[in-house]
Every structure is written in C-alpha cells, then in structure tokens.
Amino acid sequence: MKTFHYIAGGVTAPQGFLASGLACGLKKSGKPDLALVYSEHVATGAAVFTTNKVKAAPVLISQEHLDHPHTRAVLINSANANACVGPQGRRDAITIATAAAALFGIEPDAFFLGSTGVIGVPLPVEPILSALPTLKTELAPNGGTAAARAIMTTDTYTKEWAVAYNYDGREIRIGGMAKGSGMIQPQMATMLAVVTTDAPVPKPLLQQALSSVVGRTFNRITIDGDTSTNDSVFLLANGAAGGEPVKEGPALEAFTQALEEVCRQLAWMIVKDGEGATKFISVQVTGARSEEEAETAARAVANSPLVKTAFYGEDANWGRILAAVGYSGIDFSPAKTEIRLGDLLVYAGQGLAFDETVAKSILQAKEVTTEINLNQGEAAATIWTCDLSQEYVRINGSYRS
Amino acid sequence: MKTFHYIAGGVTAPQGFLASGLACGLKKSGKPDLALVYSEHVATGAAVFTTNKVKAAPVLISQEHLDHPHTRAVLINSANANACVGPQGRRDAITIATAAAALFGIEPDAFFLGSTGVIGVPLPVEPILSALPTLKTELAPNGGTAAARAIMTTDTYTKEWAVAYNYDGREIRIGGMAKGSGMIQPQMATMLAVVTTDAPVPKPLLQQALSSVVGRTFNRITIDGDTSTNDSVFLLANGAAGGEPVKEGPALEAFTQALEEVCRQLAWMIVKDGEGATKFISVQVTGARSEEEAETAARAVANSPLVKTAFYGEDANWGRILAAVGYSGIDFSPAKTEIRLGDLLVYAGQGLAFDETVAKSILQAKEVTTEINLNQGEAAATIWTCDLSQEYVRINGSYRS
C-alpha cells in the first residue's frame, strides 16, 4: 500500500533545506556549474558511491567524510570530474571543502563533495573559491531547481522529484535531484544524485535505507553498461519534521518506501534522458529462484547491444532476449521459459506464431516492457534501460570530428 | 620460434579431406546454403561449443556424437539455426544425420552437425535430404572454398586459412574455415568453424589441443559481447600425413602452435568482417598478476560501447579505457597503471599531455592496438574486437523497417 503522495520540488521540498546554483566559469557556455545543498540544522548523512576501482577525488574525500557523525551540505561542480589527475585531485578537493566550511563556520567533513564532467583535466579551483560567497548568499528555500540545473552536463532537462507522507502525526518530506546520461563528451564522469529529508533518521538506519534503496533503483538502471568513476548518491536527514527518531519497524518501512519512490523516479528520468534514447525499456525477469538470479538475467538482456538495437528497430526479436539470458551465467531451462513483449506471449519453450501487427503496436510505444518468466521460482527483478540508437553512436563517436 | 608456413586453401588443404557446397533452397537468394567436409579415412574428432545455456539442436547432437571414437564428416547448413524450436529441432537434426550416414554407409554419430541462421523457425528438412546425394557426388579435394561459401550468412567474404609444418620427416597440414559476424538479420545464430588436419592425433590430445587453442583465439574475440546459441568449432584429424601418432611433448607443441595460427587467423577474419566494423582493435593488458586477470580487464575494455564508439570516432579517449578496467572487477592501482595508444603513452597514473596529431594518426589506421600495463605482475592477454559504428546500429536495428 502506498503511504506517500507526490509534492512539488526537489532537494528543497523538505523543511530546513536551502539550495543554490550559479555559473562560476567552469562551463565555456556560461551555464550554471556550481551547486550547493545546505541544511539549516545539523543532519545525518548517508551515501553510496561508484564501485569502479578508479574513483574520482571527490568520491574518495566524501567516503572519508561519511565517517563524520554530522553532515550539513553537498557541494557539487559540473564540467570537470576531478578524476584521474594524480595527487593534485585530492589537494584541490580538500582546498575547496576547507574554504566552504570556513565560510559557514563548520568543519570540512560536514561537506559531501561531488564533481561531474571531463576526466583527466585538473579542476580549476580559483573560480570555485571565488564563487563560494555568492553561492552562500543565494541559498534559498526554493533553490532546488537552480541547484538541479547547475549539476547538469549533457542532460537535456533537470531531474527532480519529491514525495510526502504522514506518520505519527507529522508530515515527512523527501526530495531529490539527479543528473546522468552524460558520457556524451569524451571522458565524462556521470551519475550524481542528492536526496534530502526532514525526517529524523539516525545515521546507521539512514545508510541502511539508502543502500537497500539504491540497490533497487539507481543500481537497476543501465544506459550502456559502463560504470563511471564519479557516481555518487548522497542523502541528508535533518529532522526538521520533528517527532521521534525513525526506528526499525513500521516507521523505517514507511520512510524506506517513500525514499525508494524518489530514487526510482530520479533513476527513471536518467534512463529516459539517456544518450540517443528513443524508448524506455523495462526488462522484468520473473519465476526466478532468487532475486539475484533474476537481476543477473535481466541485466544481461538490458545490456545486450543486439537486444537494445532490436528495440530501437521495433523488432519483436525474442531470440536475442533468450540468447542473452542464456549467456548471463544463470542456470535455467529454455524449455520452461516464457517471454512476453508487453502482454504478448512470443516464446513458450519454443517460438510461437504471434500477430506481427500486435507486436509492432506494442513495440512502437515509447515505453516497452518485456517479461522473461523462468518458471523455476518466485523471485523477480526489473532492470530499466533505453534502446541503442544510431544517435548514441553519433554522440559518443563523433565528438572530435 | 615459428615452425609453420602458410599454404593455400582451407579445410581441404590437408591430405585426405574432401568438401563440397551447394544451394539446396534454404536461402531465398538462391546462394549456397549446405556444406559438407568429409575425411576419406577414419579420423579423430574434437569440438568446442557455445557456453550459452540456450543451445541449438545441432550443438546438442554434436556434443553427443563427440563421444564416438571416430569422426568422418561435418555437415553444415546456413540460413536456419535450428534453435529454439522445441523438440522438433532434435528430431530434425537426427533425421538429417541418419540420412547422411546411410548415404556413406557409416554411423550417424560419425557426423558433426552445424546450423547457422534464423532462430525460432523450424528447419526445412526436405530440401536438405534431397540435396545430400548431390552434395556427396560433388565432394572434391579442392572443394574447401565451396564449403566455406555455403556456410556464410551475412559474412561479406569467405574465411579460410591453412598452414603446414615439417615434423619428424613428414609434412603436416592444418586448414580451416569459419563464418561469423552474422547477427545482422534478427535472431541469427552466429559463429561456426571447421578445422581439418592430416596429422595423426589421438582423440584426447586432439581435444586438449583444441580446447586450449580456442581459449586463446576464438574465445578472445568479441564483436558486441553477445554469445550465440550455435557457436561451434570442429576439428578432425585423419592421420593421412602418416607417421607416428602425435605424442605429448615437442610433437604436440608443434601441432598446437600451428593449430593456434589457423584458429587465430580465422578469428581475426571474423572480427574484421564484424557488423559495421571500420577498425580492428587489439586490447592488450600487460603487467597483470595472472592471465585470467589480464583477460578480464581486456574483455571489459573491448566490450565497452563507450570505448568502441571512441575508436570509431578516432578519439584518444583513455578515460573510457581506464574506467572500463575500473569496473571490470579486477584489483589494480590506477596510480601505477599506464595506457598506450599504439606506442603513444597517454596515461601514467594521471593523464599526460600528448601530441593530439600523433594520436590522431595512430587512431586513423585500420588496425589499432591499445596497451594497458597494470604494472603489478608478468601476465598478459589480448582481446581482439572491432569498433562500434552507426552502421552496426543500422544493421541490427532497422531490419524490419
């Protein structure tokens, strides 16, 4: 049962959060490139980072700051990833966190840092330091969209979502912003999200909720199977909604459900804004013996270039779907398996004679679901992806030419 | 030290092998679609098959026939994969093997079977049965190219290679043919190779040699990371060169080295004929702690759509290469790693200032090598792949439109 409802806004939808975004000169276009999300109250922080062994400096610094009991702010620049630049990257990140902290009279490790943009080019530190005072001055309770705009790289629209739910006599809000889809230019490092809430959530529970939710949302999307060096999801809980701290049990469940909705909506927006994407595709594996098995199979299908080009071509190509499950590494019986495109059963142990007109009308839609039922258990998992178009290749291949 | 030299021809280059190829009517175009490779003498057989859990009927039948001590022939049809059609697939494959065996007065399990083409459509058996007598009549000692032509689907040229070497006073020949690259039409099942030799090789050693060689050749190429339901490599050794059976030690080493050359050349031809391919790319990981580690890293780079589109765009994009190694799952230090494009060092713990003109001239070539030196061991592995072009998407996405 859904206990939450949608509300307007993003990271500043919850009480006690301010945000700002401005152009400090990192983007040649003059577009906004520096964002700050700030909690008026001491907050608890949680975060999930890229599993890539190659981690950008802000990722490594934020991992260290995660040990701090309190978190107050997330500072993000776009246009430069501060990744793969040697020891200078770490020094630059520390310089920026120290300057920002001094401005607010708090400790540097109350800041999470995020960077997104070109890899391998040293971060211009001066423009960021010069812009910090204005960034602070412009902090506003309706600044969420300005911040969401400033973290965009090649995203074509801002990505914000927020929900509210009532629990124990008070309204709790959760809001977030994200950017993604952006390996359009060479060496771009990609996905960032900031989620805020006015719920009072102790740090260990906050991390537990975020880790489980990210596993079912941001980690269940794929554009092209590539994992960037900068992916980070930050969550701040400042308790401004008042009331008792969230405890394990119904209170944590309600919070987690609402958090999952915000993260899922942001994740879906990233897929829909994927490079060259023309379709949003849900790959649903059911009848698996475990959720892990279902996820492994769904991920193989969602990452198959042959499957993705077939969806682009609106081709009812169940053979490629079955073959991808076949090489995913899971154990299953092709004879027991069923494949559906939308509601249309196209394979049940063998290819079926189906109405091509019906298949075409299903595949022509902007959003397509394919279900692969392994018929060997009760578990299921869904991976969300987009199709692979000629535009993707043009975007990623022709940057310099 | 190379002990072999190249000779003309393919599967009929070794003594005592005949082959033929003709059009039996499976291809609407009227092009050849049925091939037979036949040994005049009893031979030993070895084979390696797709690891896909979804296996075509001819793969399952050939796996069973591999237990037979003697092998005489490989019968291959193109245009239809005989895959994913339910129990009918097995019945059809057995019918064909039984009819072919009767024609030659040998046992059905002396035949290996291969099929390549559309998945999910029942195999037309009658045209194949009707053509078998002619296929037998046309067997010829120079029939290798006719057979190589008949196994093509969307390959743009035939793929044959042969070598010879002298050992212990006799000349030993190894020849082969392959087809690949052909998931152009929907639901096509792809890679097939037949290799013949007149060396006398006992069955267990033959399988051992083939398995190790396939691991370093056919299994080290990737077009798009997809593994088909029909991939098979067959090897027949008929001993027509005379002399003592090949034993472990120098005799097996010389044989394996020559076999590896044939398989590698055929594998390279498959990559070069990859769908939409404009470049042949060697991804070489060195300085690894184990060959497995090197292979895992090289495979991640070779399968990354972002890396492949960058090569297509002739973009010196080392950031994408490093990021792919980063998510490959291996443990390594980005600070110790070096990346080269051709001979040009572009990354050594951090991005280097390199001459873009030199990089461009390296990347404009038809064959490009990138070396990733992890600097943590002595092991190395190379994966061969092609770039990802808009043509790949057009071919795979627009079949029905």
> What would the pLDDT profile of A127-150 be if each residue is shown by its tens digit?
999 999 999 999 999 999 999 999
pLDDT-based confidence at A225, cuts 50/70/90? low
Distance CA A336, CA A350 (A): 9
For residue A186, the one-letter residue type is P
pLDDT of residue A370: 97
Rounded average pLDDT over A162-172: 93
Identify the DSSP state of B245.
P
Residue A37 has pLDDT above 50, yes or no: yes
Residue A56 has pLDDT above 60, yes or no: yes
Residue A112 has pLDDT above 80, yes or no: yes
pLDDT of residue A184: 38
pLDDT-based confidence at B274, cuts 50/70/90? confident
Question: Which chain A residues touch B325 with a CB distance below 8 Å?
Answer: 53-54
Chain centroid to Cα A192, Å, comes to 6
Distance CA A151, CA B58 (A): 54
For residue B342, the one-letter residue type is G
Pair of tokens at residue A377: 């258990």
pLDDT of residue A1: 61
Residue B270 has pLDDT above 50, yes or no: yes
With a CB-CB cutoff of 8 Å, which residues 37-66 of chain A face chain B?
Answer: 51-54
pLDDT of residue A364: 94
Mutual angle of helices A305-312 and A318-327, in 10-degree steps: 160
Pair of tokens at residue B208: 């051992």
Query: Which of B12, B44, B190, B382 is labelled catalytic?
Result: B190
With a CB-CB cutoff of 8 Å, which residues 286-325 of chain A face chain B?
Answer: 303-306, 309-310, 312-315, 317-320, 322-325
Please tell me which of the candidates A183, A390, A399 has its beta carbon nearest to residue B394.
Answer: A390
Please tell me which of the candidates B229, B323, B390 has its beta carbon nearest to residue A323.
Answer: B229
Please name the helix (run of DSSP H) or strand (run of DSSP E) that holds residue A352, with its range, or none: none
pLDDT of residue A400: 39
pLDDT-based confidence at B32, cuts 50/70/90? very high
Question: Which chain A residues touch B389 with a CB distance below 8 Å?
Answer: 393, 397
Query: Hey, how many other C-beta atoms are within 10 angstroms of the C-beta on A69?
Result: 10
pLDDT-based confidence at B180, cuts 50/70/90? confident
Q: Where are the alpha helices (DSSP H) in B200-273?
A: 203-216, 250-272
Q: Where are the alpha helices (DSSP H) in A166-284?
A: 203-216, 250-272
Q: Which of A139, A135, A141 is nearest to A13 (CA)?
A: A141
Residue A3 has pLDDT above 90, yes or no: no
Record: contact B393-A398, CB cut-off 8 A = no
Spell out the CATH class of B4-272: alpha beta
Distance CA A293, CA A289 (A): 7
List of residues 6+ apart from A309 with CB closer than 8 A = A387, A388, B392, B393, B396, B397
B280-397 topology per CATH? Ubiquitin-like (UB roll) (3.10.20)
pLDDT-based confidence at B186, cuts 50/70/90? very low
Instruction: Give the pTM.
Output: 0.81
List of residues 6+ apart from A46 with CB closer than 8 A = A66, A203, A206, A207, A209, A210, A211, A234, A235, A237
Q: Which of A149, A142, A388 is nearest to A281 (CA)?
A: A388
pLDDT of residue A255: 96
**In the block, which residue shows the tokens 């020949």?**
B173
Distance CA B270, CA B395 (A): 17
Q: Over the stretch A268-282, which tens digit does the pLDDT of each residue have?
A: 998 888 877 889 999
User: Which of A31-40, B119-128, B140-149, B187-196 has the least mean pLDDT?
Assistant: B187-196
Residue of higher predicted confidence among B102 and B52: B102
pLDDT of residue B53: 86
List of residues 6+ apart from A177 with CB closer than 8 A = A10, A11, A144, A147, A148, A151, A158, A159, A160, A193, A194, A266
With a CB-CB cutoff of 8 Å, which residues 330-369 of chain A face chain B?
Answer: 330-332, 334-335, 347, 349-351
Rounded average pLDDT over A31-50: 96
Query: Which of A71, A190, A296, A370 is labelled catalytic?
Result: A190
How many percent of chain B have pLDDT more than 90? 75
The number of CA neighbours under 13 Å toward the Cβ of B154 is 20
Instruction: Give start-end residues of each CATH 3.60.70.12 domain in chain A.
Output: 4-270
Spell out the CATH class of A4-270: alpha beta
Residue A151 has pLDDT above 60, yes or no: yes
Record: contact B327-A226, CB cut-off 8 A = yes
In order of A123, A185, A190, the CA distances from B27 in angstroms are 59, 43, 46
With an 8 Å Cβ cutoff, is B85 touching chain A?
A: yes
Q: Judge whether A189 and A57 are in contact, CB under 8 Å.
A: no
Catalytic residue check, B190: yes
Residue A392 has pLDDT above 80, yes or no: no
Record: contact B323-A228, CB cut-off 8 A = yes
List of residues 6+ apart from A54 with CB closer than 8 A = A83, A84, A229, B322, B323, B325, B326, B334
pLDDT of residue B185: 40
Q: Over the stretch B303-358, which tens digit does the pLDDT of each residue have?
A: 888 899 889 989 888 988 998 999 899 999 999 999 999 999 999 999 998 998 99
By C-alpha distance, the chain B residue nearest A396 is: B309
With an 8 Å Cβ cutoff, is A392 touching chain B?
A: yes
By C-alpha distance, the chain B residue nearest A117 is: B319
Nearest chain B Cα distance for residue A149, angstroms: 25
User: Which of A169-183, A354-368, B48-62, B121-135 has the least mean pLDDT?
Assistant: A169-183
Rounded average pLDDT over B167-175: 93
Please tell me which of the candidates A315, A325, A387 has its beta carbon nearest to residue B400.
Answer: A315
pLDDT of residue A272: 86
Residue B41 has pLDDT above 60, yes or no: yes
3-class state of residue B348 by DSSP: strand
Exposed, middle or buried: residue B350 (CB in 10 Å: 0-12, 13-18, 19+)?
Answer: middle
pLDDT of residue B189: 60
Q: What ipTM was estimated for this complex?
A: 0.74
Residue of higher predicted confidence among B270 and B145: B145
Nearest chain A Cα distance for residue B306, angstroms: 7
Question: Which chain B residues touch A189 with a CB distance below 8 Å?
Answer: 319, 323
pLDDT of residue A399: 47
Nearest chain B Cα distance for residue A88, angstroms: 10
With an 8 Å Cβ cutoff, is A91 touching chain B?
A: no
Residue B400 has pLDDT above 50, yes or no: no
Q: Return the sign of the alpha-carbon dihedral for residues B235, B238, B243, B245.
A: positive
Residue B17 has pLDDT above 90, yes or no: yes
Residue A183 has pLDDT above 50, yes or no: no
Residue A161 has pLDDT above 70, yes or no: yes
Record: contact B327-A227, CB cut-off 8 A = yes
Rounded average pLDDT over B92-115: 97
Instruction: Give start-end residues of each CATH 3.10.20.340 domain in chain A.
Output: 280-397
Q: Judge whether B17 and B177 are in contact, CB under 8 Å.
A: no
Q: Over the stretch B191-227, which tens digit does the pLDDT of each residue have?
A: 899 999 999 999 999 999 999 999 899 888 877 666 7
Q: Over the stretch A74-106, which tens digit does the pLDDT of each residue have?
A: 999 999 999 989 899 999 999 999 999 999 999
Distance CA B65, CA B97 (A): 10
Q: Which of A47, A396, A19, A30 is nearest to A225 (CA)?
A: A396
